[in-house]
Structure 1
Amino acid sequence: MGSKITEEEKKLPYAKYFYMDLAEIPKEKLDIWNGGIQDSKEALQIENRNLFLEEEVPGFQVGYCVLENGAGYVANSTYMKDVTPDMLDWWFGWHSVGSDLRYKIWDKEDHYYARADKPEYVMDPRVPCREKTWGVNHSILEDIGMGPDPLKLCFKKPSDLGYDMSKIGTKGCSTMVCAVGEGKAPAVMTHKCRKVDGGIMFESRFWMGYGLKAGKIIKLIPDGEKIPEIFPKSLFGHNIKEFANLAAILPKLYEEEKDNF
């Protein structure tokens, strides 16, 4: 299964990444994925999300659970050797324009396309890379473990999701991207990175069952109901896979394509 490469895509200079084996997922992460949910008391609550931008983030760093209020929660940390914050800012804009192959090479088994609704804004050289996702919606087709499923990721300026902009560019948070996912499994997603020896630590948090209404983050799960455990488990499994692979391909890909929006 997985995505296919078209004849047109085979001619693109980055097609070689499609033919590479996906990077291996660290065994300790697979053990967590297979080992059952974490203690929900050790999760970072969405109300405390600005603590995610600190150098020391409370709670478990890798794993998933169902929160006491019924929402899902996913956390992941990936060491990315030779990757810089600038590369990540570039990546989140670059893969959403041009050929669908850009999204496929991230995870050829599960990614089909990611298409920005404002490609001219994303490709505008006057827009700094870290702002190329702000206010841009990505229409995505991907499979997080339950079959290919379309969703819309509505990327936001961090302050639009209640994040403290003064924390970006600090030791705890070199850069970040955040979005609200709309689809069968709505979620608030935040990725950040911080510099460490030899590269970056790329960290993710997902709060599943939340959305944005009138500028406020709200819980969409009715009180008394819970997200099935398979949802955060599947998202966690997908996340540890796609970011292991991105860590493997990004330094070389950036070197080759950084000027080719």
Structure 2
Amino acid sequence: MARRAYLGYRGDDAGTAFAGFFDPRMAPLPGHVVDALHHGPQADQVLPGFDCAAKLLDEGYQQTETGYGRQPDGGFVVSVRTDMPGVSPAMWDWWFGWHGSDTRRYKLWHPRAHASARWADGGGDGHYLGRTSLIEEYLGSSYARAAIRFVRPAELGLTGPRLAHSVAVCARLGSAELPVDIGWFVHHVRATPEGAEMRSRFWMGGQHIAVRRGNRLSDSLIRPVATRQLPDPRDLLVHCAQEMNHLAGFLAQLYARFSSTPEA
């Protein structure tokens, strides 16, 4: 079995300029997330559909902003809303290009679950579009090695003037060990009077399982195997809520110190 990377900071990890932002103490889950967990799985008809991903750009809110549930094809959907006072959409756009080149940065995001991160191209800081992040992390008690290929929002239908004042981080999610993709996600960040809010959507399993550079036959053959590797949707909801809330608590300060173009 491949050796797992370690959690937390060790040795000279604390010697970086950003190490002061590493804090293993995490705030309690927001009340609306706890309510969603108490509610349990939602009916598939009230969950946001992948074909309607572009509706994230509409004003207002969708029927299930925070929740999870199974789909008829065997897949599942997870939605999470994160309120982020004092944070702007641009800060998240910067974060996704900055954190992936250094595991110690990645651990700032979720100090109790993130173990490793690097760019597949071996490169350093820069924009994330078109690149693949290879990460290792815990989802609940399950250890995952994933490949996150960031794509342009237009690939999921998010285009036009409504995107001009917000940020949509979109990606294909798959295995870092096998040439198989298992889902998609979008983190849409829009401004609010208090700062910003992130509305995350994950579509996993079912029709979204595919062999990279494969075909319909190979997809159908791999689907039963890949389905057994999917994370638990409840664990994914908790993980997303934890990491986004945690980073939002100090992202503005991190951005002001390390971004080359900090906001006024």
TM-based fold match above 0.5: yes
Q: Which moved more, 1:145-154 or 1:182-191?
A: 182-191
Partner SS state of residue 160, structure 2: helix
- Indicate which of 182, 185, 190 corresponds to 1:186: 182
Q: Is the 8 A contact 1:112 1:142 kept in 2?
A: yes
Partner of 1:127: none
CA positional deviation for 1:168? 5.1
CA distance in 2, matches of 1:66, 1:39: 8
- Indicate which of 150, 153, 160 corresponds to 1:155: 150
Partner SS state of residue 18, structure 2: helix
Cα separation, partners in 2 of 1:158 and 1:230, compared to 1, 3 Å: closer
CA positional deviation for 1:200? 0.5
TM-score (norm 2): 0.82
- Number of residue equivalences: 245
Partner SS state of residue 70, structure 1: coil
CA positional deviation for 1:70? 1.8
Is 2:197 aligned against 1:201?
yes
Partner of 2:116: 113
Partner of 2:168: 176
- Indicate which of 4, 10, 14 corresponds to 2:14: 10
Alignment-mate amino acid for residue 151 of structure 1? A
Q: Is the 8 A contact 1:40 1:68 kept in 2?
A: yes
1:120-140 CA distances to partner (integer Å, 9 max, x unpaired)? 4x635xxxxxxx111100000
CA positional deviation for 1:170? 4.3
Cα separation, partners in 2 of 1:41 and 1:66, compared to 1, 3 Å: same
Alignment-mate amino acid for residue 112 of structure 2? E
Q: Is the 8 A contact 2:78 2:233 kept in 1?
A: yes
CA positional deviation for 1:96? 0.3
Partner of 1:164: 158
Is 2:106 aligned against 1:103?
yes
Alignment-mate amino acid for residue 162 of structure 1? L
Q: Is the 8 A contact 2:100 2:125 kept in 1?
A: no
Partner of 1:232: 233
1:73-104 CA distances to partner (integer Å, 9 max, x unpaired)? 0001111111111101100110101x311000
CA distance in 2, matches of 1:230, 1:111: 15
Partner of 2:35: 31
Partner SS state of residue 118, structure 1: coil
Cα separation, partners in 2 of 1:205 and 1:259, compared to 1, 3 Å: same
Alignment-mate amino acid for residue 106 of structure 1? W
RMSD over aligned CA atoms reads 3.0
Partner SS state of residue 123, structure 1: coil
Partner SS state of residue 135, structure 2: strand
Is 2:44 aligned against 1:49?
no
1:219-247 CA distances to partner (integer Å, 9 max, x unpaired)? 97969xx8899721110111111111011
TM-score (norm 1): 0.83
CA distance in 2, matches of 1:153, 1:138: 5
CA positional deviation for 1:169? 3.0
1:48-90 CA distances to partner (integer Å, 9 max, x unpaired)? 1111222234321001110122211000111111111110110
CA distance in 2, matches of 1:235, 1:185: 17
1:4-32 CA distances to partner (integer Å, 9 max, x unpaired)? 31322111122122235213211331232
Partner SS state of residue 21, structure 1: coil
Is 2:80 aligned against 1:86?
no
Partner SS state of residue 164, structure 1: coil
Cα separation, partners in 2 of 1:102 and 1:230, compared to 1, 3 Å: closer
Q: Is the 8 A contact 1:180 1:211 kept in 2?
A: no
Q: Is the 8 A contact 1:113 1:141 kept in 2?
A: yes
Partner SS state of residue 100, structure 2: coil
